[in-house]
Chains A and B, each alone.
Chain A
Amino acid sequence: MERRQIYVVAALLFTLIGRISSLSVTVNDVECVYEYVLYEGDTVSGNFVVVDHDIFWSSDHPGIDLTVTSPLDNVVHTVKGTSGDKFEFKAPRSGMYKFCFHNPYSTPETVSFYIHVGHIPNEHDLAKDEHLNPINVKIAELREALESVTAEQKYLKARDARHRRTNESTRKRVIGYTVGEYILLAIVSILQVVYIRRLFSKSVAYNRV
């Protein structure tokens, strides 16, 4: 009975491992998100995609920058000027990490990001806790592998959202600009005819032409 209770508590302990956050935030100038890393040596992985950029007038938007700062205020990872990327690094120490997105332009952008902190118990943890056996290490490795697949899927989903917005914008533009073009063509040709008629009207000097 006691052993079962201990297993339940050990299983509950495992719930601490591997935190997931997947959200979108609107970046006006700088937006920072903080994530806590429990153990030193944990792998922090994630991705971000600029989903909603209203600047459709040029196809090469410079994108946004990401800066990851460790609890000791030194920069652990930077990515500059992209519209979406994946990142992965090993946390040099435990503590609060700061993920900052910087938007160099004045139009606000929506960034969809996903951060995952993964911990695999190593030999040191195995030696410390007698209830952890090598199968827990294998299970943790398997869980991290599945998390990486989930991270890829979230990245694909965010990229698909961006593509969908571009598609919608193209569709609206095709319809809007075509109808506008037809109306403009009709108006311009009617105005041309009216103008030429006026040139030959009796009120204006008739013999000038």
Chain B
Amino acid sequence: MGMRANVRRELVLQLLLTLWIWGTVRVSEGIWLNLPASGTKCVSEELHTNVVVLADYVVVSEDNSRLPTISIKVTSPYGNNLHQKENVTHGQFAFTTQEAGNYLACFWVGGDNQGGGDVSVNLDWKTGIAAKDWESVARKEKIEGVELELRKLEGAVEAIHENLLYLKSREAELRTVSETTNTRVAWFSIMSLGLCIVVSVLQLWYLKSFFRKKKLI
């Protein structure tokens, strides 16, 4: 009796595991892009410093025998090349941002594309809290199930708080630029008026002295 319960539990475990594997392999997270046969397609995201980025890309096609290949190039805002691969069908990359700005990932179809049709690429781009490795946290702290879910929610709340502070600092920067532009508009307009008056006075004075010299006045 005990043996049968054990076997049943093993079976349930296997079933759940295969379900999970089937789920992740059959349906990956992320968005799908359609690459035209010629030309580049780029996606970008604006990130600040010290953000962890984890990305996965895979070429998807109906018949798995002839997978077309793509090339990818990931650049940082200052132009550094973070990841570059030619003629691959899948890959992944991870980096921590050192500079704040626009991070660009560009795809184009490699040379090996029979039929010349559009190529479908699945890109799973995760930043910040979404890129956190919860499995290693679960293993290290030996938590599972509901406690792990609550820990994830706590992480999400902390990420929300950080984002809010970041938005607040951005708004403060924006406000200082707005206010300096405002004072500049006022000063430059007054200066322009003053310059206009000064220039016209100089003109009149010069022309008067010129006509006097020519004995016309």
CB-contact partner of A22 in B127, B174, B184, under 8 A: B127
- Contacting pair B174 A164 (CB below 8 A): yes
Contacts of B112 in A (CB 8 A): none
- Contacting pair B30 A2 (CB below 8 A): no
* Interface residues of A, dominant DSSP: helix
Contacts of A76 in B (CB 8 A): none
Number of residue pairs A-B, CB distance < 8 angstroms: 167
CB-contact partner of A160 in B125, B157, B171, B196, under 8 A: B171
Interface residue? B54 (CB, 8 A): no
Interface residue? B82 (CB, 8 A): no
* Interface residues of B, dominant DSSP: helix
How many residues does chain A have at the interface if contact means C-beta atoms less than 8 Å apart? 66
CB-contact partner of B42 in A26, A164, A189, A193, under 8 A: A26
Can you list 16 A-B pairs, Cβ within 8 angstroms, ordered by A?
A: A2-B13, A5-B13, A6-B13, A9-B20, A10-B145, A11-B144, A11-B149, A19-B30, A115-B31, A143-B156, A146-B160, A182-B195, A189-B199, A189-B202, A196-B207, A196-B210
Q: A186 to B9, alpha carbons, bound, how many Å?
A: 90
Interface residue? A170 (CB, 8 A): yes
Q: A12 to B12, alpha carbons, bound, how many Å?
A: 15
- Closest beta carbon of chain B to A161's beta carbon, Å: 6
- Closest beta carbon of chain B to A80's beta carbon, Å: 23
Chain A positions within 8 Å of B, measured between CB atoms, are 2, 4-16, 19-26, 32-36, 38, 96, 110, 112, 115, 135-136, 139, 142-143, 146-147, 149-150, 153, 156-157, 160-161, 163-164, 167-168, 170-171, 174-175, 178, 181-182, 185-186, 189, 192-193, 196-197, 200, 209
- Contacting pair A96 B32 (CB below 8 A): yes
- Contacting pair B160 A153 (CB below 8 A): yes
Q: Which residue of chain A has the shortest Cβ distance to B184 in the bound complex?
A: A174
CB within 8 Å for A19 and B29 given contacts A11-B144, A146-B156, A160-B167: yes
Contacts of A178 in B (CB 8 A): 184, 188, 192
CB-contact partner of A9 in B16, B174, B184, under 8 A: B16
Known: A7-B145, A192-B203, A200-B216. 16 other contacts (CB 8 A): A2-B9, A9-B13, A11-B145, A11-B148, A13-B16, A13-B20, A15-B134, A22-B45, A24-B44, A25-B43, A115-B31, A146-B156, A157-B167, A167-B174, A167-B178, A189-B203
